[in-house]
Each structure stands twice: as C-alpha cells, then as structure tokens.
Amino acid sequence: MPLIYVTSPIHPDVLKALSLVGEVRLGYGSDAVSYADIQQQVDAVFLRGGHISAEMIATSPNLRIVARHGAGYDNVDYKAAEELGVWVTNTPGENRRSVVEHVFALLLGLSRKIQLATDQTRNEIWAADRLSLTGIELEGRTLGLIGFGDIGRHVAPVAEAFGMRVLATDPAYDSSFDERLVDLDTLLAQADVVSLHVPLQPGTENLIGGAEIEKMKTGAILINTSRGGVIDEAAVADALRSGKLGGAGVDVLAAENIDMITPFSCNTFPVSDLPNLLVTPHVAGQTNESLLRVGMSAVEAISAVLRGEAPLHPVNKPAPKTFN
C-alpha cells in the first residue's frame, strides 16, 4: 500500500478520502512523525504547510508526487522535482471564492475603520470621537487589480457590484480585448484601492515599493492576498505612518510565523502604531468549503499519479521514472 505523508492539518473528510488511497502518516498532532522518519518509504506528499526542498526530494527514492494544497507552490522545489522525475501539482481555482471574499473583508474593514471602532468599544469607549470613525464608500471608487488571472478576474465583478470602476494590469493579457486593462503607472495613478493578485517569482518581488507608492493617490488603500514578497514591507510601513497610504490589508507576509507584535518582516513598526493596518495570518483561502474543495483536488492528483496517470493540474513535467 502506498505511503502518503500529510504535512499539516487538513479537512477531516479529505483525510478520510486520502486514507482510501494509501497509508497516511501525519506530520502534525499526537501521532506526528517527521519527514526524515518516512522519507525512504514515502510515495506521495500532501503538502499544505512546510517546505519540500530539493534535498528532501533527492533522498526520497519512492516519491512520485508532491501535491500542493492550494494554488501557490513556492514552498516546493518543483524544478528539482521535475529533474528527479517527481510530479508537483497544485489546486488552482478551488479557493478562489474564499480569497475574493477575503479581499473585500479587508477592504471593508479598512474603509469603514472596523478594527478601530471595535477596539474602542472593547475599551468601553462608545464613539467618544465619532469623526475619527468616519469611513468611505466604495461606490464610485476605482479598484486597480495588479494581476488579472483567475482570482483577479473574479474580484472584478464583485467590485463592480459595489459600484466601483475596475482597472487591471497584467502582461499576459492583451488590452485590446478588455478596456479595463491599462499599464501599471496608469493603474497606480488612478486607483483608490490597489489589490495584488500575482505569484511571487522573478519580476514580482517587491513589485510595490517606495517608487510605486509615490505614484499612488494619497490616502489610497493597498490589499495583498497573494504573496508577502510582492510588496516592500518597509516602504508600505513608512507610507502608512506618513499617511501616503490610507490603509493596508495584508493576509501574507515576507516572513510568516513571526511575532505578530511586529508583523512586517522589516520589523519597523508594531501593529499598535499602525491603526490603518489590518493583518490576517494567511487565511484568505481558508473556509470550510474551500478546504474541502482544495483538499479533494489534491487527493485526486495523488490518486491519479499512484495509478500511473498524469495529474490534472501539474506545475512541472517530470521525465518518466521507475519506482520501487
């Protein structure tokens, strides 16, 4: 029976389905085992949290697939996997709706100063200064989407339902087919809200830094639910403190699993000094519904590869490999 290693907690129904495919060993909980304990026998890795390096792949002789629980795959060396004959897959689109809704959860939280108002009431202050809690309406504002792929294209109609004008920039799309597509400088200059929907790769690291923020409207809001490294966190923190940015909502950080008193990896400003900053711990795609969809998609990928078939959503093209 094939051995499947699960790195982090997954939906219980997904775990049940996975147990029908092979013997499941967990990297978490009371029965946790380390990857080193099973790497000589493991056939498949169900990768949610954690990282799978080239060395881990090279020292796993029976490994056939690393199935990512999610769309991003920057936590697995997929190129090394390809060279070593190991499939790497992801689950594009399965958590789309959850991420889209989280974009607007952050945006509404900032535009209506929900955190500030909540903090005041928890401190037994009932609108002592109501003017300080004055928000803005989304209707009539311009949303700029940096990245117009699967998630960006689904953010757009929700924004339009709020009465927002939508602009987008993405080198993969021809602007002649969509009047909303503009160059980055035009988007930055016109957007009241900028939302990022790009992968972290060469060319997108620190895509939004000090120079780009200077091109934005004073008081604009920045939303990032993609990857932490696509913004220069020190520059964003400076802009929040100065008022150049009216607010920032981030679900991802360049350095995660850190002391959240200072959430930006630059450790420049603590959260308490930035009332116009909302931080959530990489949970935009985490709803009960999406965890089930994403998990079952990863199970299907593992099942296919263990049957000797090509998976539905590969991110690499490994050469055929003979397994024990």
Q: How far is CA 54 from CA 85, 86, 252, 276, 319, in A?
A: 12, 11, 24, 40, 16
Instruction: Give the span between the Cα atoms of 252 and 91, in whole angstroms.
Output: 19
Annotated catalytic residue, options 137, 214, 256, 309: 256
Q: Is 101 a catalytic residue?
A: no
CA distance 201 to 212: 18
Burial class of residue 70, CB neighbours in 10 A (0-12, 13-18, 19+): buried
Q: SS in 3 state form for 127-138?
A: CCCHHHHCCCCC
Q: Which of 68, 282, 293, 313 is an active site residue?
A: 282
Sequence-distant (6+) residues with CB within 8 A of 219 are 243, 244, 245, 246
CA distance 310 to 317: 10
Q: Determine contact, residues 159/184, Cβ cutoff 8 Å.
A: no
Give the alpha-carbon dihedral of 134, 197, 44, 80, to 10 degrees: -130
Q: CA–CA separation, 246 vs 171, rounded Å?
A: 28
Q: Is 130 assigned a catalytic role?
A: no
C-alpha distance from residue 309 to each of 140, 219, 300 (Å): 50, 52, 11
Is 227 among the catalytic positions? yes
51 touches 8 (CB < 8 A): no
Q: Is 90 left (phi over 0), alpha (psi -120 to 50) or beta?
A: beta
The catalytic residues are 227, 256, 282
